[in-house]
Chain A
Amino acid sequence: DQQVKQNSPSLSVQEGRISILNCDYTNSMFDYFLWYKKYPAEGPTFLISISSIKDKNEDGRFTVFLNKSAKHLSLHIVPSQPGDSAVYFCAASVTGNQFYFGTGTSLTVIP
């Protein structure tokens, strides 16, 4: 039972444009959400988080939006850079408990 879903396995974006990665979840009890970035042969690295009391969190070029009613979150990268090419995972949890991960979206930023 996939509680967190990333329905787009891949995404290609031109350098300088906006990348939008989407994530849907089913468990309304989730109150903490994360995005991770993963390069090949490396472990995932934390990117940005958002708690359910917010609907937006921004960190430099990265912004995460949370729509609780739709059980949807998205990661915006503006402007996209070739170094952003990686697999992005979203994850959700009830605070203090295990994280449930999406299957990832492979982002390719074309120079």
Chain B
Amino acid sequence: GAVVSQHPSRVICKSGTSVKIECRSLDFQATTMFWYRQFPKQSLMLMATSNEGSKATYEQGVEKDKFLINHASLTLSTLTVTSAHPEDSSFYICSASSTSGGAATDTQYFGPGTRLTVL
């Protein structure tokens, strides 16, 4: 079945540093990838929609200059948390839909997530 990977799975960084998280679709092409953040005991919150070859679309309240998204190819999207602070500590998850004939299909595949801890 389709697989989405994320790297790294866990990262600990100092406050003020930047962290890059990669999301890859391993065996299918994804024109659209989504980035979510999960707070403890809460549902996944959509942060942004990442479109290959164009700028990401951010949800209201998400700082686009802080959470930089680059969807450079049909199999890779990156999320960079710039100048991370302790409140950015969270579980970040990406998802992707496979494409068929250029259109997104129904099924959404989730990555395993990246746990970010900012000290």
Give residues in A with beta carbon < 8 Å to B: 32, 34, 36, 41-46, 49, 51, 89, 91, 93, 95-96, 98-99, 101-104
Interface contact tally, CB-CB below 8 A = 47
Give bound CA distance, A51 to B44, whole Å: 21
CA distance A4 to B91 in the complex (A): 21
Q: Residues of B with Cβ closer than 8 Å to A? A: 6, 32, 34, 42-44, 46, 49, 91, 93, 95, 97, 103-104, 106-113, 115
CB-CB under 8 A for A96 and B97, given A44-B44, A51-B106, A101-B44: yes
Considering the complex, give the chain A residue whose CB is closest to the CB of B1: A46
Which of B34, B44, B93, B112: most chain A CB closer than 10 A?
B44
Known contacts being A89-B44, A102-B43, A103-B43, is A96 close to B104, with CB within 8 Å?
A: yes
